[in-house]
Structure 1
Amino acid sequence: MAKCSNTTFKLEFVDSLTKVDKQQWQALFADNPFCHCEFLLSLEQHCLGQGSGWYPQHILVFDGSDIVAAMPGYIKTHSYGEYMFDWNWADAYQQTGQDYYPKYISAIPFTPVSSRRIAIAASHQQHSEQIISAVIKGCQYLQDKLQLSNSQWLYIDKPTSDILATTCPQRIDLHYLWHNRNYQDFDGFLAQLTSRKRKNIKKERAKIAQQHFTFQWLDGAQINDDLWQQFYRFYVNTYRYRSGHDGYLNLPFFQSLSTVLRQHVRLLMVADQTGEFVAGALFVVSDDTLYGRYWGCEAGDDFLHFEVCYYQGIEYAIKHQLAFFDAGVQGEHKLIRGFEPKLSYGNYLFTQQPFAAAITEHLSQQNRHIQMALERAKQYLPYRKDG
């Protein structure tokens, strides 16, 4: 457990959440299931560490003996599983004979969900800027000690990103989010779309209805190991088809979710006319948001994908009065299905100044393009102008 101090707060770096007071960590991240201690610890125990390229190095901020802020963090030896890609920067380093890896990131492994990365106790909110400054100094200390090329905060909340941006250049990217505007049912949502877009969605759903699939939502208490095994088979099949590998997560991790995210995990299983499961999707629920995380099937079917990953999720959010549905990153095809574009944020702290200046300029240009793309994307939304 390494330590780093400034005049007010003491920072400690821990290489495992087994070394952290779980109750204190949980109190800081109570509103975000992906930052719950047990969830991150399950990732750590089943999917990270030796040979994975992800090595936990979390930051704890102390005021006396009390943890008043915390940040999940990982030393990385590659850029897989991050979703705010920096491969071109790594190539630039390599071409000049310098090492881009290892680097340090604050992110949720394999989970591009925007949320707080630096969680600060309610009692210390008035010290937020001072605590964030201490965290930046801690990252600089870590970079110097371990010869890391940079530190990154990925999918960080905008208020914290804006504070970081005074020192650590900000990056923006597009994300797509469905908003529940007090719809009573799916037809109520469709009624807000233009006639053409409404008809297209109805056609897609009709093609699935003709195949007489059965859709079954299960919560954490209902998902047994056999169901996880079937879902995992679909997950691996889809990853192999799309990416040529088995995916980043393994069966023991998925099985652990029935315990570590028991109140938040949802599994949607799809059965054909014979009752055999042919597809499945994993979701996570917070107080106001449904998150679509992974899906898989026996054989590729775009319409089944749209039904399972989008339309079933929209119906679930409406039924359970959730304000938002986040179906995952990328995919402009979400626009025409009612998912609205929004910005995601990242920040970067580079050790080597020549690269820092070039990357800062690159980010400035890229951010301008993203802002323009955001405005263009809004023009393709399917909602009626009089809605």
Structure 2
Amino acid sequence: MVEIKIFQSIFQLKKEDWDLLTRSSSPFISYEFLGVLESTGCIGKERGQVPFYFTLWEKGSLRACYYIFLKSHSYGEYIFDWAWADAFQRAGLPYYPKFCSQTPFTPISDLKLLIHPDDLAFKSKFAKILQKAVSEVANKIGTSSIHVLYIPHSEKEFFPKDMYLHRKTHQYHFKNKGYNCFSDFLNGLEKKRRKQISKERNYIEKKSGLEIRQFTGGSLNESHAELWYQCYLSTIKKKMAHGYLNESFFKELFKALPDKILLLLAFRGEDLIAGSLFLYDKETLYGRYWGALEKTKFLHFEMCYYQGLDFVFSKGLKRFEAGAQGEHKIKRGFLPERIWSAHYIENQIFRQAISQFILDEGKSLEDFFEVIETKMNPYKKRSSDVKKS
């Protein structure tokens, strides 16, 4: 007999239990990452983002979890539904609160339905039980919708189309084709792209007067978090954006996950100029944040892409996820990847309208992918590709 328990804090669960469920996931749904978000006040009722951990237990043992957040806004999602919220408001209907399953402020395709390794064969069964529990709570609260963002391809089937609208968006990812170093990567590019990247790197190395220092693992300390936070704030101010994360978050994160963090800081002498922050696991480097106190030509490319690629090659990683937005990434070896989300809309009239919007959006996206592949792909064409053209 299974039992459903709902918790609103990660600290109500045991770390060893959570670690079993997330053993093959990214650092972003680790006990440490979620715990630091919570303990430093970056999520919670006052921030309009309350965690709900729908857990499934059997004989007193945690067997599965579906994590989701009750939100009073759409900040930090990067799969945008502001237009939907505006349409609800103009019709005199509340769009918030809504349920949203996504690691806060993190556009990473992580598992949403976490299953104990001994129960993977029961994932479909557990998924239905947990989703029913979420729907019941959503009805009691009166949410307008349930959104599941950044679904891995392996989980799409657990969010059936008779209930959820499936939406396609895109991000830019680098897939390592067996490159051992940056020069191997350059040799795989078309001549024009190769020359431009070499020019950009040469400028930073020989003409910028900057020194880029790398910190990870034991070399990270609290002073680095303080320096990094200056960079983070500079981006927030320039973009007039919301600062989702505070200085305490970065300090605690550097303590909790030092072996999953890569921090790059650029200095001119001892003066801080810029920084970029990444997280990584055994297979993937995740580019997350960038900030500059002083504008320097080509520095963004160096610190957000090229230094990251150097790290990928040195660690033998398979992927580098550079996030959404910015077609300039294509020229630098990052190609678009389809990203999936699922959306349950309670109001049937709005569901039909949003369904059509998603359909049209998806067609435009496929046209975009065709243009990228035929006209903008920076990699050398294989002989078989030349024959086809």
Give the structure-1-normalised TM-score.
Answer: 0.94
- Decide which of 27, 30, 34 is 2:20's aligned counterpart: 27
CA distance in 1, matches of 2:222, 2:354: 46
Q: Which moved more, 1:72-81 or 1:258-267?
A: 258-267
CA distance in 2, matches of 1:133, 1:373: 35
* 1:313 aligned partner: 308
* 1:228 aligned partner: 225
CA distance in 1, matches of 2:98, 2:242: 25
DSSP 3-state at the match of 1:155: strand
DSSP 3-state at the match of 1:51: helix
Matched, 1:109 2:104: yes
Matched, 1:258 2:251: no
* 2:5 aligned partner: 12
**Deviation readout 1:47-98 (Å, 9 max, x if unpaired):** 1114311111121122332211112211000001011110011011111100
Matched, 1:375 2:370: yes
**Deviation readout 1:168-218 (Å, 9 max, x if unpaired):** 121111111111111121111001111111111111112212113212111
**1:215 partner amino acid:** I
Deviation at 1:276, TM superposition (A): 2.4
**Deviation readout 1:234-293 (Å, 9 max, x if unpaired):** 110111012x14621100000011222122111111112x23221111111111011111
Do the aligned residues in 2 keep the contact of 1:236 with 1:246 (CA within 8 Å)?
no
Deviation at 1:364, TM superposition (A): 2.3
* 1:174-193 equivalent positions in 2, closer than 5 A: 174-193=170-189
**1:267 partner amino acid:** L
**1:315 partner amino acid:** D
CA distance in 1, matches of 2:359, 2:57: 35
CA distance in 1, matches of 2:257, 2:43: 18
Unmatched 5+ residue regions in structure 2? 384-389
**Deviation readout 1:295-320 (Å, 9 max, x if unpaired):** 11112335100100000001110111
Deviation at 1:373, TM superposition (A): 1.8
**2:255 partner amino acid:** T
* 1:4 aligned partner: none
DSSP 3-state at the match of 1:85: coil
Matched, 1:86 2:81: yes
Matched, 1:48 2:48: no
Do the aligned residues in 2 keep the contact of 1:68 with 1:120 (CA within 8 Å)?
yes
Do the aligned residues in 1 keep the contact of 2:74 with 2:82 (CA within 8 Å)?
yes
- Decide which of 29, 36, 43 is 2:30's aligned counterpart: 36
Do the aligned residues in 2 keep the contact of 1:9 with 1:131 (CA within 8 Å)?
no
**1:327 partner amino acid:** A
**2:266 partner amino acid:** V
User: Percent identical across equivalent pairs?
Assistant: 32
CA distance in 1, matches of 2:76, 2:368: 24
Do the aligned residues in 1 keep the contact of 2:20 with 2:117 (CA within 8 Å)?
no
Deviation at 1:9, TM superposition (A): 3.8
* 1:230-249 equivalent positions in 2, closer than 5 A: 230-242=227-239, 244-245=240-241, 247-249=243-245
**Deviation readout 1:317-363 (Å, 9 max, x if unpaired):** 01111111112222111111001211111111122222222222322
DSSP 3-state at the match of 2:235: helix
* 1:304 aligned partner: 299
Aligned length: 378
CA distance in 1, matches of 2:282, 2:338: 21
Deviation at 1:375, TM superposition (A): 2.4
* 2:387 aligned partner: none
Do the aligned residues in 1 keep the contact of 2:221 with 2:255 (CA within 8 Å)?
no
**2:29 partner amino acid:** C
* 2:264 aligned partner: 268
- Decide which of 205, 215, 218 is 1:218's aligned counterpart: 215
**Deviation readout 1:108-160 (Å, 9 max, x if unpaired):** 10110111111112222222222221222122112111000111111111121
CA distance in 2, matches of 1:146, 1:310: 43
CA distance in 2, matches of 1:124, 1:246: 40
Q: Which moved more, 1:64-73 or 1:24-33?
A: 64-73
**2:379 partner amino acid:** Y
CA distance in 2, matches of 1:241, 1:225: 25
Unmatched 5+ residue regions in structure 1? 1-7
**2:70 partner amino acid:** I
**1:43 partner amino acid:** L
CA distance in 1, matches of 2:258, 2:177: 28
CA distance in 2, matches of 1:11, 1:107: 21
Matched, 1:288 2:283: yes
Do the aligned residues in 2 keep the contact of 1:172 with 1:367 (CA within 8 Å)?
yes
**1:40 partner amino acid:** L
Do the aligned residues in 2 keep the contact of 1:269 with 1:281 (CA within 8 Å)?
yes
Q: 1:364 to 1:193 in 2, by over 3 A?
A: same
